[in-house]
């Protein structure tokens, strides 16, 4: 999935996924919150997650766009059990 934050969209509400994921940050630096803790993300950084609550809080000081590319994954056994989902 690709999340684009630019124009009027400048935040991502808190959410979680029922799988593991890798998110790569592209563009302007930003702060991501993971389980309520701030994580600084710069261009090219990769954030591994495994079901944690995460968000990108509103930051009106950001002027340039940014995007994150997220790869979601799990094992064949988790898929067969129905215990994973995006």
Tens-place pLDDT, residues 19-69: 999 999 999 999 999 999 999 999 999 999 999 999 999 887 878 888 999
**Which residue has 């766009």 as its token pair?**
65
pTM: 0.85
pLDDT of residue 8: 67
Predicted confidence at residue 64, as pLDDT, reads 86
pLDDT at position 6, please? 79
Please, which pLDDT band fits residue 9 given cuts at 50, 70 and 90?
confident
- β strands within 28-82, DSSP E: 30-34, 37-41, 46-50, 54-56, 66-73
């Amino acid at each position: 999935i690709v999340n684009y934050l630019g124009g009027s969209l400048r935040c991502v509400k808190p959410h979680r996924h029922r799988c593991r994921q890798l998110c790569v940050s592209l563009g302007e630096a930003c702060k991501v919150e993971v389980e309520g803790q701030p994580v600084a993300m710069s261009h090219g950084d990769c954030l591994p997650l495994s079901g944690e609550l995460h968000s990108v809080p509103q930051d009106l000081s950001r002027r340039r766009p940014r995007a994150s590319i997220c790869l979601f994954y799990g094992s064949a056994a988790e898929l067969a059990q129905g215990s994973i989902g995006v």
